[in-house]
Structure 1
Amino acid sequence: MIRPNGRLPRLATLFATLAIVAAACTPAASTAPTGSTATQAPPATSGASAAAGLKYPESGEVSCGSDGSPGSFNGKDYTGNLKSIEAPDASTVVFNLCNPDVAFLQKVAFAVFGINDSGWIETHAADGSIKDLLNGTGPYKLDEWRKGDSLIYSAFDNYWDKANYPLVPNAVLRWATDAGARLQALQGNQTTGITLVGPNDFETVSNDPNLLLAPAPEGQALNTLYLGFNHDKEPWDDVNVRKAVALAVDRQRIVDFYPEGSEVATHFTPCAIEFACEGDPWFASGGADQIAEAKALLTTAGFPEGFETKIQYRNVFRGYLPEPPVVAQDLKEQLEAIGITATIEEQESGTYIGNANSGALDGIFLLGWGADYPEVTNFMDYHFGAGATAAFGAPYPELATPLGAGNSTTDAAARKAAYTEANAKLQELVPMVAVAHGQYANAYLAGTEGAQVSAISTEVMWAMKPPATATDPNTVVLTQGAEPIGLYCADETDGESLRACEQSMEGLYGYEVGGTEVKPILATGCEANEDGTVWTCALREGVTFHDVSTFEAEDVVLSFAVQWDNAHPLHKGNTGIFEYWAGLWGGNLN
């Protein structure tokens, strides 16, 4: 195994890290009962023989929850579905689950679960630099992040699949928040492609013979705009207030600002996804009768004359929200009809996402979701499951329970019943108002090979080739809507950061280029046992990271463990919240 720069053997340092966690969870010797002995970490060794027996958590057992009650670990409640991760040898990783997970492969294919070298994590998570760097196994390596301008990539000479990718030796990821500026860059041959064509520019691109419009295929606009409320904060702690806003807003009026093909949301999850739209559609809103009902609800809540609040948003173009300031202003005007006076508050993108996930937003907040993987669990579990972020306040048990039932069975009838119940609870509790599913399109120079518009926002430059007429045919340039917030994507949620990571990072599985089907990448395959609670993954051999470290099972274990365990000394990133973990796996250790 290659260990550059005289670094300690990575397995030895992983065991040392596990020992730190074990020590933190073990009573001090002075308070231990007489005759007791503290559990010691295994001795530091190297090689495949040392990998045998590698397990996380290294000491203690996870107790799984049941019948809506949480399990436990280390004396604390545990709501997650992962029980342990094991590496019986250097080429095998085993995931033990509490309950079956119908979306296991889709989750491990998602960009936030890209695999980092364990030694890299130990060094760069500890000093905080991990959020500004990339060290993956993918076709492109990151050469430089020119803050405020671009990310510069070049082909990785030791890439395990270099016979196929990348198609050209160089790549640049740029950004421009204004849709018009992105289009001008494309028209000026300064970029190979752009994401998210402006709503008023579809026709312009379509009519230009030098450009190619790439709209999302029908049924693949997998996104949702919603108006959110934190029910742990006044006045949103009163369901009458939340429902009053939901009744007052004319959602079609908002969708009229969107590109043709966009639609009013009937359910939180787009109906193209199986089990998304079980049960009744969202109640009518925005009409005279609904305005009258909304006023009555505000009176019941103690606000007969309305109240003052804020409309909070970030000015970042999204498929689900192409005109944030315009929509915020229209919402402000609509709310005046029921006496709500709103001040519009724009926040910087990274600050806004951090405030949302930590539950710090106290007004009506404009946010949305684009599919990370095409499964109802991605929309529902992340937002409303037992491990959901604090954006809407503490999770509702009456929502989390049916979602837990739906994500742990493959029985179609049981899943249908679970999501019917969950969708009904969304209308009863109104933690948010589902507004729109937005149509969107990317655009490219005509003749670009591998032009992509992804339903899950995974446009990868390593599968693109500029036309011969490009300014530099050996460099693919993609211009997106905003600068990445950070590059340690385990602790990021914005699409611009994830897209930056996807050029360099790889997971056990990934997605077909431009598609939604999963395929093995760093694993040659993952197989489930009969009841779906144990997944065994055989790892690809001969893979190296960009710093030439060897890819092995210990890298997988640590990459997952540092996200999973809140008490892990390397549980560090941009915000340190690691929002996706609890949202998708149900909860964290400690």
Structure 2
Amino acid sequence: MRASRTAAATTLLTLAVAACGGAPRGGGGGSAAFEITKDTAPAKGPVDSVTWSLYAEPQSLDYAYAFDYHPNTVLANVCEQLMRITPDLKVEPGLASAAASPDPRRWVYTIRSGVRFHDGSTLTADDVVASMRRHLDPKVGSYWVSAYKDVDRIEKTGPMEVTVHLKKPDQLFNEEMGTSAGTIESAASLARPGYGAPDTGVNCTGPYALDSWQKGQSITLRKFGGYWDPSLTPKADTIKAVFITDPAARVNALLSGEVDGGYLLPSTGFPKLRAAGNGTLYFGPNTTAVNVIPTNLKGPLGDVRVRRALSMALDREGIIKAAAGGVATPAKAPGAIGAWGIAPEAAKGYYARLPALTQDVAGAKKLIQEAGAAGKKIVMATSTLAPDIGVIANAVQSAGQAIGLRVELKAVAPEAYTALFSDPKAREGIDLVMTIWYDSTPDPLEFYGILQTGDFANYGGYSNPGYDALVAKANAQADPAARAATVAELQEIAVREMVWIPLYEVPHSLFLNKRLTGAPTGISQLVFPWAARLGSAG
């Protein structure tokens, strides 16, 4: 999972795939050919109801804790942010009709007028201030607190104006206002005990309102008739999200028509879903990369030679075949190339100059000997939460043992795996953990910024003053091209020092029953009201 400067840089424990954009991908070495489809065809008409699959039940719908796939898939349609990140990974005005930075240490938001919450009350600047300040309250314990680390204060500066004062320049802050960090809720609703829980719910401004939450079974959303944006008027009257935790059962539910669609599908089901006669399997743009994170740099992995050796020993093509059904491409960096929305063309050049991470067991053995690490123990977390976690853990164990490391696997209960990314105590005694990490913004600084000293998601405690200085430099660069060039330097350092060990990138996956169309295929569905576009295909 993840919790970072943003959430959704996050990690996961899911069973799917993620990747970068492009046309046909894949090929030899065990990778199955796949093609990126940027969107589905526009809907032709309304539908009464849609049943959607989620791989797990959200623990809460409180936006402060929405940093993973299943809660955000629901909340993207219910709650809205100051800014909006679109399916083509652009940042545009949302609940803020305008955003301005009159100087490097201020962001001024003009709040959109005439917006109503689901209870009929009107959006005000006071609601915005209350919603944003929650992230700064240690009693709340927001998973998005890192997005606010440069914030000095937030204040109402006009009837419909809010100003954020910064301690230092932070260009990424405004982009993150398109994620859960920028979600706006009614101040009155936030004061209710149990906010975000099944019995209390939420009161936001999105195209859908929370209708009911059947614990352990489903969440039902209903179309909100007072929605402010006519371009996203919902076409489906109700969306029922059902929780199907077993991967095989989820695939069968799609094939039988019991459910109409779902995102982030188990790669083990790709062959059946590709051949389905009642719907289509899509692969969409992604900002996700699968990595192994060294979470303890005080042990053997504190030596960069050991981290490099472990990376060199890995059979990435074999891992892709076993863990992602072949639908993936080997990664060269811990941040996905698909996350470079601010400079996609330049990113190709930056990525091309990185070294290919090829398997070299003999060279890895030599590094282990030079580091004096032969026979040293490394503990990696594994779990039955998703098949790919176990596959990758076993592959790391085999690779480590092949070069002289003693890799032990520590089983973590499925319900506790998420805690590895939110609770430092849960990581005690663990040196490595696998993650599926996605960026919510189109800015690669979102990921590379978390590797600076002291960041919440800098799980291993990596510290490099030169790296920190580059993060600060990038955050002060308003020009996207200049910022991307600085982030490219950060990327090179992260790869050279193997702060995280890259494995592969996968496309976002979507299955849609042939009676429906309109849903975006890419990972933007975690922050964009995807269900509002969903409607009849004929």
Name the TM-score class by shorter chain.
0.5 to 0.7
Which residue is equivalent to 1:293? Answer: 366
Rounded Cα–Cα distance in structure 2 between residues aligned with 1:378 and 1:180: 34
Tell me whether 1:96 sits opposite 2:162 in the alignment: no
1:344 aligns with 2:412: no
Kindly provide the CA deviation profile for residues 181-205 of structure 1, in whole angstroms up to 9, marking residues without a partner as x: 2221012211110223333543433
Residue number among 259, 273, 285 corresponding to 1:205 in the alignment: 273
> Within 2, Cα distance between the matches of 1:392 and 1:118?
37
Q: 1:446 to 1:412 in 2, by over 3 A?
A: closer
* Aligned equivalent of 2:208, options 140, 158, 168: 140
5+ unaligned residues in a row in structure 1: which ranges?
1-46, 59-77, 469-590
Aligned positions of 1:162-241 closer than 5 A: 164-216=232-284, 220-241=285-306
| In the alignment, structure 1 residue 271 sits paired with structure 2 residue 340 | no
CA distance in 2 between counterparts of 1:48 and 1:363 reads 46
Q: How far, CA to CA, are the matches of 2:530 and 2:458 in structure 1?
A: 31
8 Å CA contact 1:259–1:440 kept in 2: the answer is no
Spell out, residue by residue over 1:159-211, the C-alpha distance to the aligned partner (whole angstroms, 9 max, x if none): 33479522122111123234332221012211110223333543433333321
> Which TM-score applies when normalising by structure 2?
0.63
Which residue identity lines up with residue 265 of structure 1 in the other structure?
Answer: A
* Alpha-carbon spacing, 1:128–1:368, altered in 2? closer, same or farther (3 Å): closer
**8 Å contact from structure 1 (residues 388, 395) kept in 2:** no
Q: How far apart are the structure 2 equivalents of 1:364 and 1:252?
A: 20
Match of 2:440 among 346, 360, 372: 372
Query: Residue by residue, what CA displacement relative to the aligned partner does 1:250-281 show, whole Å, maximum 9, x if unpaired?
Result: 22321233244511111222224136563742
State the distance in 2 between where 1:230 and 1:49 align.
Answer: 42
* From 109, 112, 134, the counterpart of 2:178: 109
Q: 5+ residue gaps in structure 2?
A: 1-121, 134-146
Is the Cα–Cα contact under 8 Å of residues 116 and 136 in structure 1 kept in the other structure? yes
| AA matched with 1:462 | A
The residue number in structure 1 matching 2:308 is: 243
* CA distance, structure 2, for counterparts of residue 410 and residue 210 of structure 1: 47
Measured after TM superposition, the shift of residue 130 of structure 1 is 9.0
Corresponding residue SS for 1:172: strand
Measured against aligned partners, the alpha-carbon deviations of 1:326-363 in whole angstroms (never above 9, x if no partner) come to 22222222222023333333434553232223334222
State the SS of the aligned residue for 1:166.
coil
In the superposition, relative to structure 1, how do residues 393 and 358 fare at CA in structure 2: closer, same or farther (>3 Å)?
Answer: farther
Alignment of 1:379-458 (within 5 A): 379-384=447-452, 387-393=455-461, 395-411=463-479, 414-458=482-526
CA contact (8 A) 2:473 2:486 kept: yes
Cα gap change, 1:309 to 1:84, in 2 (>3 Å): same
String of CA shifts for 1:503-558, please: whole Å, max 9, x gaps.
xxxxxxxxxxxxxxxxxxxxxxxxxxxxxxxxxxxxxxxxxxxxxxxxxxxxxxxx
Q: Identity of paired residues, percent?
A: 19
Aligned partners of 2:160, 2:431: CA distance in 1, in Å? 49
1:324 to 386, 389, 395: 389
User: In the alignment, what sits opposite 1:85?
Assistant: 154
Residues 412-470 of structure 1: CA deviation (Å, up to 9, x unaligned): 674355224322321343222011111342111103032332233436323323668xx
2:187 maps to 1:118? yes
d(CA) in 2 for partners of 1:283, 1:467: 43
Which amino acid is 1:465 matched to?
G
Which residue type is aligned with residue 116 of structure 1?
E
Alignment of structure 1 residues 505-584 onto 2, 5 Å? none
CA distance in 1, matches of 2:396, 2:524: 28
User: 2:393·2:409 contact (CA, 8 Å) conserved in 1?
Assistant: yes
Q: Assess, with a 3 A threshold, how the Cα gap between structure 1 residues 368 and 102 changes in structure 2: closer, same or farther.
A: same
Shift of 1:411: 4.2
Distance in 2 (alpha carbons) for counterparts of 1:49 and 1:230: 42
Instruction: Give the corresponding residue for 1:460.
Output: 530
- Matched residue, 2:100: none
Helix, strand or coil at the partner of 2:305 = helix
C-alpha change, 1:133 and 1:50, in structure 2 (3 Å) is closer
Q: Normalised by the size of structure 1, how large is the TM-score?
A: 0.58
Alpha carbons of structure 1 residues 438 and 105: separation in structure 2 relative to 1, 3 Å: same
Q: Distance in 1 between matches of 2:124 and 2:330?
A: 57
The residue that corresponds to 2:26 in the other structure is: none
2-structure distance, mates of 1:143, 1:363: 43
CA separation in 1, counterparts of 2:404 and 2:444? 36
Flag the 1:133–1:349 CA change in 2: closer, same or farther, 3 A: farther
Instruction: Give distance in 1, aligned partners of 2:277 and 2:358.
Output: 43
CA distance in structure 1 between the aligned counterparts of 2:275 and 2:132, rounded to whole angstroms? 58
1:223–1:371 Cα contact (<8 Å) kept: yes
Q: Distance in 1 between matches of 2:228 and 2:200?
A: 25
Contact 2:306 2:368 in 1 (8 A): no
Give distance in 2, aligned partners of 1:196 and 1:418: 32
1:368-420 Cα deviation digits (max 9, x unpaired):
21221221122212344653424122544332221221122034674355224
Whether the 8 Å CA contact 1:228–1:367 is kept in 2: the answer is: yes
Separation (CA, whole Å) in 2 of partners of 1:407 and 1:212: 41
- 1:309 partner amino acid: I
Taking the aligned partners of 2:151 and 2:487, their CA distance within structure 1 comes to 22
Query: Would the aligned equivalents of 1:55 and 1:84 in 2 still touch at CA under 8 Å?
Result: no
Distance 1:358 1:467 in 2: 45
Question: What is the DSSP-based 3-state SS (H/G/I as helix, E as strand, rest coil) of the residue aligned with 2:191?
Answer: helix
- Contact kept? 1:358, 1:390, Cα under 8 Å: no
Listed one character per residue, the Cα deviations across residues 189-243 of structure 1 (whole Å, up to 9, x for unaligned) are: 1111022333354343333332122211xxx232111111124542333333323
| Aligned equivalents of 1:372, 1:445: Cα separation in 2 | 27
- Paired with 2:148 and 2:356, the residues of 1 have a C-alpha distance of 32
SS in 2 for 1:209: coil
Query: In the TM superposition, what whole-angstrom CA distance separates every residue of 1:40-66 from its partner, at most 9, and x where no partner exists?
Result: xxxxxxx99997xx89999xxxxxxxx
Alpha-carbon distance in 2 for matches of 1:331, 1:180? 26
Q: Distance in 1 between matches of 2:465 and 2:423?
A: 19
Residues of 2 paired with 1:49 and 1:248: CA distance?
56
Cα RMSD for the two superposed structures? 3.6
